Amino acid sequence: MNLDHITLTRIDPIAEREDLIDFITGNHWPFHVTPQMPREQIEKAIESGAYRSDERDSYWVDHADLGRIGLIRFEDLEDDTPVFDLRLASRYRGRGLGVQVLKVATAWVFEHMPATRRFEGQTRDDNLPMRRTFVKAGWVKEAYYRQGWPVTGAEPRDSVAYAILRSDWESGTSTPVPWGQD
Ligand SMILES: CC(C)(COP(=O)(O)OP(=O)(O)OC[C@H]1O[C@@H](n2cnc3c(N)ncnc32)[C@H](O)[C@@H]1OP(=O)(O)O)[C@@H](O)C(=O)NCCC(=O)NCCS
């Protein structure tokens, strides 16, 4: 699949602070720990390096025809296995764009981080669009954490972890987890 129509544009969280705040407050995030994040919380997060630091880097997701469709933040960039937080604007959800963005993000990690062998992501158990997106992008479910996803004001939900290996990305395969033994 040609994905040239999807571009990642690096965010300067200080210079683009208002755009970042507008994006987060202007959309609803039903599967995140904080579905509607107040402005003050985002300001604090920006100041504390939540969007750019040694460990984190954030990018707008731009679509050649649709314009700015979302945001992706890479996390744990100094660890062996980086992870990410992908957020499409509400109006661009539900049309299969997530899988395209995840593929572009996967290529970004493996191309920019030559020593990285794995790229990982977790989502809430009931985030079926994200779970399906992982599988459609060739990622493999590696773990299921019962009650591992905190929910503000409610009981925790389960968390599901997926990952893709550089070797699978290079060969275009999805090697299953060898769940042979208890
Ligand atoms: C999660 C997200 C990236 C998914 O991207 P998307 O482009 O909106 O995904 P889609 O809605 O097109 O769904 C992807 C797949 O899931 C399937 N799906 C969607 N809702 C489903 C449901 N309720 N039950 C079963 N399958 C479902 C779709 O049918 C599609 O599969 P298909 O192409 O085989 O038909 C996007 O919705 C988003 O940014 N959501 C808000 C932020 C978020 O939750 N991010 C995840 C952080 S971990």
d(CA 140, CA 20): 31
Distance (angstroms) between ligand 1 centre and the Cα of 176 equals 22
Q: Residue 163: which CATH number? A: 3.40.630.30
Distance from Cα 93 to the centre of ligand 1, integer Å = 7
Atom number, ligand 1, closest to the C-alpha of residue 100: 7
* Atom 8 of ligand 1, nearest CA residue: 93
Question: Measured from the CA of 136, which atom of ligand 1 is nearest?
Answer: 34
In sign, the C-alpha dihedral spanning 139, 49, 71, 107 is negative
Count: domains in the chain: 1
Query: Is position 84 within any domain?
Result: yes
- Out of 128, 141, 151, mutate this one to test ligand 1's pocket (max ligand atoms within 8 Å of CB): namely 128
- CA 63 – CA 176 distance, rounded (Å): 32
The pLDDT assigned to 181 comes to 86
| pLDDT value for 34 | 87
Residue 13's domain spans which residues? 6-171
pLDDT at position 25: 97
Q: Would you state the structure tokens that stand for residue 48, as one six-digit string? A: 């504390």
Distance CA 67, CA 6 (A): 9
What residue ranges of the chain have pLDDT lower than 50? none
Whether 86 is in a domain gets the answer: yes
The answer to whether residue 1 sits within a structural domain is no
- Give dist(CA 88, CA 160) in Å, integer: 20
Residue 137 lies in a domain: yes
Q: Is residue 109 part of a domain?
A: yes
Q: How many CB atoms lie within 10 A of CB 34?
A: 13
Assigned domain for 176 exists:
no
